[in-house]
Amino acid sequence: MSILYSALLMGGTGLLFSIFLVIANKTFHVEIDPRISQIEETLPGVNCGGCGYASCASYAEAIVKKGAKLNQCVVADKDTLDALGTIMGTKVVKGEKRIAVVMCRGDRESAKFPGIYRGIKDCAAAIYSGDVAKRCKYGCIGLGSCVSSCPFDAIKISAHGIPVVSLDKCTGCGNCVEACPRGLIELHPVSQKIHVYCKSHDPGAIYKTVCTNACIGCGLCVKAAEADGKSDALKTADNLVIVNYDNYQLKPEYIEKCPTGAINIEQNIIIK
């Protein structure tokens, strides 16, 4: 008899609870645009933040509710963008792919180290603890804060102690740009292959004492560009040559005269 009672009691309670849940589900139903979940499923779902929103879900919401642009996802390939276009009923044009470029060539062979740093394996920590990890006060410390910030496993420290970016894996989300305490990583379109791989404002004498790959601001590349009639492509400022990225017009000829190799073509990038 008690078996029957307990079965009845539990069955009844279960039924009661499920009816309660059904009613609650109906009363508390929230109207959500079905396109939001469709877009969320289409997006890569890595939550890298490259689009400027905190997660893929909030980007999907922004597309539908606030009319955010569809081509902001840096990870999406052409198929994904086409699928997004079908959901929203428009056509999506993808901008040129941008990748992270590490603006330092101060590897173990060229840069000088005052000693061996054995502290916390984090670039910012190394700077706060006396900034003794590397003699150059502008260059890459090489402890890999950018590596741990990358959600795509696209950046790693090479055997020479400098981060290298994989052209295939990098999506240009920009997490490493924020992770680098020295601000050495920049996002640039893939077609722009020539950069000045140095951020040091120290005078030319550092070539011998700090780093043999430093830009010493000699201006030979600027002169080569001027001779070619592209006087606004490069300019010297405070012992450093600065590239005009608003009007990018560098050619491989300009880098030939560089005595240190600071202005160079496709450094720190693995092309496979």
Partner 1 sequence: MKLLLLFIASIIVNNFILSNFLGICPFIGVSKRLDSAVPMGLAVTFVMTMTAVITWIINHLILIKLNMPYLQYVAFILVIATLVQFVEMFLKKFVPGLYRAFGIYLPLITTNCAILGLALLEALKNYNFMESIVFGVGSGLGYTLSMAIMAGIREQMELSNIPKPFQGPAITLITAGILALAFMGFSGMISL
Q: Quick check: 22 binds partner 1 (CB under 8 A)?
A: no
Beta carbon of residue 125, minimum distance to partner 1 (angstroms, whole number):
7
Structural contact between residues 196 and 243, judged by C-beta atoms closer than 8 angstroms: yes
Judged by CB under 8 A, does residue 13 bind partner 1?
yes
245 belongs to the binding site for partner 1 (CB under 8 A)? no
Binding track over 103-142 against partner 1, x by CB under 8 A? -----------------xxx--x-----------------
Contact yes or no for 144/161 (Cβ under 8 A):
no
Task: Name the residue type at position 160.
Answer: H
Q: Angle between the 78-88 and 56-66 helix axes, to the nearest 10 degrees?
A: 40
Half-sphere exposure of 141 (CA within 13 A, CB side): 30
Angle at CA of residue 165, ends 159 and 170, nearest 5°: 150
Among 2, 67, 78, 93, binds partner 1 (CB under 8 A): 2
Nearest CB to partner 1, comparing residues 17 and 245: 17
Q: Judged by CB under 8 A, which stretch of 5-13, 134-142, 194-202, 213-221 contacts partner 1?
A: 5-13
One character per residue 147-166, x = contact with partner 1 (rule: CB under 8 A): --------------------
Query: How do beta strands 234-237 and 155-157 pair?
Result: unpaired
- Burial grade of 89 (CB within 10 A; 0-12, 13-18, 19 or more): exposed
* Interface contacts to partner 1, rule CB under 8 A: 2, 5-6, 9-10, 13-14, 17, 20-21, 24-25, 28-30, 120-122, 125
